Structure 1
Amino acid sequence: MDRPTALVARHYVAIGGSGPEDVVSDGRGRVLTGVADGRILRLDGLTDPGTARVETLADTGGRPLGLQLLPDNALLVCDAHRGLLRVGLGDGSVRVLADSVAGERLRFCSNVVALSDGTVYFTVSSRRYPLEQWIGDLVEHTGTGRLLRLAPGDGTPEVLLEGLQFANGLAPSTDESFLILAETGARRLTRYWLTGPRAGRSEPFVEDLPGMPDNLWRAGPGGPTWVALAGPRVPPLDLLHRAAPAVRRVAARVAVRAPYRPTGMIGVLAVDDDGQVVHHLATGGSPFRMVTAVCEAAGHLVLGSLRERGVALCRPSGPK
Structure 2
Amino acid sequence: MEHAQQLVPRRYVALGGQGPEDVVADSRGRVLTGVADGRILRLDGLADPATTRVEVLAETGGRPLGLELLADDDLLVCDAERGLLRVDLGDGLVRILADSVAGERLRFCSNTVALADGSVCFTVSSRRYPLDQWIGDIVEHTGTGRLLRLAPGSETPEVLADGLQFANGIALSGDESFLVVAETGAHRLTRYWLTGPRAGHTEPFVENLPGAPDNIWRAGPDGPVWVSLAGPRLAALDLLHRAAPGVRRAAGRLAVRAPYRPTGTIGVLAVDDHGTVVHHLTRRRSGFRMVTSVCEAAGQLVLGSVWERGVALCEPPAGK
Task: Tell me what 1:94 maps to.
Answer: 94
Q: What residue number does 1:249 align with?
A: 249
State the partner residue of 1:120.
120
Equivalences for 1:8-47 in 2 at 5 Å? Answer: 8-47=8-47
Q: Which moved more, 1:286-295 or 1:50-59?
A: 50-59
The answer to whether the aligner puts 1:132 opposite 2:132 as a matched pair is yes
Q: How many Å apart are 1:222 and its aligned residue?
A: 1.0
Alignment of 1:134-283 (within 5 A): 134-283=134-283
Provide the identity percentage.
78
How far residue 107 of structure 1 moved from its aligned partner, in angstroms, is 1.1
Q: Supply the distance in 2 between the matched residues of 1:289 and 1:149 (Cα, whole angstroms).
A: 32
5+ long unaligned stretches in structure 2: none
> Which residue of the partner structure matches residue 80 of structure 1?
80
Correspondence 1:296-307 to 2 at 5 A: 296-307=296-307
Does residue 69 (structure 1) correspond to residue 69 (structure 2)? The answer is yes
Partner of 2:291: 291
* Paired residue secondary structure (1:256): helix
Shift, 1:51, TM fit: 3.3
Contact conserved, 1:279 with 1:319, CA < 8 A, in 2? no
The amino acid of 1:230's aligned partner reads: A
Taking the aligned partners of 1:138 and 1:49, their CA distance within structure 2 comes to 37
| Aligned positions, number | 320
Q: Secondary structure at the match of 2:263?
A: coil
Segments ≥4 residues shifted beyond 4 Å: none
Aligned to 2:103: 103
Report if aligned partners of 1:127, 1:144 keep a CA contact under 8 Å in 2. yes
Structure 1 gap segments, 5+ residues each: none
AA in 1 matched with 2:35: V
- Normalised TM-score (structure 2): 0.99
1:133-179: per-residue Cα shift (whole Å, max 9, x none)? Answer: 00000000000000000011111100010000000000000000000
| 8 Å contact kept, 1:12–1:49 | no
Q: How far does residue 18 in structure 1 lie from its aligned partner after superposition?
A: 0.7
Deviations 1:58-105 (A, max 9, x none): 000000000000011200000000000000000000000000000000
Structure 1 CA distance for aligned equivalents of residues 319 and 6 of structure 2 = 10
SS at match of 2:257: coil
